[in-house]
Structure 1
Amino acid sequence: MRGFTQGFYGYAVALFVCLLGAGVFLLVTPHGESEHIPRREYSITVANFGHAVPYAVWAPRQDPQGWVPNSNRIAKGANGAQVLYLGYATAKREHAMFVQSDERPAAEFANRMANTDKAIGTQQIGGVTWERRFREDKKQRTLVRVLPEVTLVVTGTADWPELAELAGLLQQRPKG
């Protein structure tokens, strides 16, 4: 027995037993094949934003089918303006974000959110006109709508139909 635990053969047998044990452990351990995208509820953030700004805020009336809301926050923009960010993983697992603020000048806010000041056209969504922007190097598409009180931006790596779906679900909530 003493000869079995010493020398090269003893080392090789011990290593084989350890590797066999690790292999059995890996075989019996369940492996999750499904993706996990953390869901972040945004209703309280939208309500808090509504209390912090002097205008009626915009928010999706519902989440698009198959989308996961995964981020939300309120931040300070230029000149002390409040900015609301609502982020999503789309059904195609791209990124889309809705941003709104009364930051002035509105064009500078839109340029910063879109990462470009170049418009490439317009798009009708729900009977209203949105400006389209595209930044090639980031594959970032953006829809911009400037209203008298607030600027709405829908942006991300999602394709145009997905961004339009989110923009079409936006509705103004009564000031409360």
Structure 2
Amino acid sequence: MRRFTEGFYGYAVALLVCLVGAGVFLLVTPQSRDEHIPRVEYSITVANFGHEVPYRVWAPRNDPAGWVPNSNRIAAGNAGAKVLFLGYATAEREHAMFAQSDEKPAAGFASRMANSDKAVGTQQIGGATWERRFREDKNQRTLVRMLPDVTLLITGTADWPELAQLASVLQQRPQG
């Protein structure tokens, strides 16, 4: 019996016992193969943002099909401006984020959020012109719309058609 507790055979037996134990553990442990992205409700954050800013807030009237809202927050921008962020997992499971602020200068806010100050074209979405920006090293696409009182951005790793889906469901909310 001593030869199974010493030397190479002892090592092999101990290794085999460990592997069998790990295999049994993996077999009896429940495992889910279903993807789970937590859904985070943003309506209260949007309403609170509307109470904090002096302009009518933009927000999705509904979420694009298959998209999951998974984050939202209000943050401080430059010079006392507030910034609303709504994050999504898209139908293709890429990341997209909607941001808006009245931060001045608007071009500086847009460049900071897009990680780029270079336009690569424009895109018509719902009758409105959006500027496209692209940062290749981060695989980040951004749609920018600068209005007189607010700057709107949609940015992320999602492709242009997916970002346009989010832009197409944006609407101004009543001031409240």
Q: TM-score, normalization: structure 1?
A: 0.90
Q: Within 1, Cα distance between the matches of 2:5 and 2:21?
A: 22
> SS at the partner of 1:122?
strand
The one-letter amino acid paired with 1:78 is: N
Asked if residue 117 in structure 1 is aligned to residue 112 in structure 2, the reply is: no
Which residue of 2 is the match for residue 89 of structure 1? 89
| Distance verdict in 2 for CA 1:128–1:21, change over 3 Å | same
- The aligned counterpart of 2:105 is 105
Partner deviation per Cα, 1:48-75 (whole Å, 9 max, x = no partner): 1001001110000111111111111100
Superposed displacement of residue 92, structure 1: 0.8
Please provide the CA RMSD for this pair: 1.8
Question: For residues 147 and 58 of structure 2, what CA distance do their matches in structure 1 show?
Answer: 11
**Structure 1 residue 12: deviation in Å?**
6.0
CA 1:47 to 1:13, structure 2 compared with 1: closer, same or farther past 3 Å?
A: same
- Following TM superposition, by how much is the alpha carbon of 1:148 offset from its aligned partner in structure 2, in angstroms? 1.0
Which runs of 5 or more structure 1 residues have no equivalent in the other structure?
none
Moved over 2 A (4+): 6-22
TM-score normalised according to structure 2 size: 0.90
The alpha-carbon deviation at position 138 of structure 1 amounts to 1.0
Determine the C-alpha separation between the residues in 1 that align with 2:16 and 2:61: 60
**2:58 alignment partner in structure 1:** 58
SS state at 2:40 partner: coil
In the alignment of these two chains, the number of paired residues is 174
Output the amino acid matched with 1:112.
R
Measured in 2, the distance between the counterparts of 1:24 and 1:69 equals 38
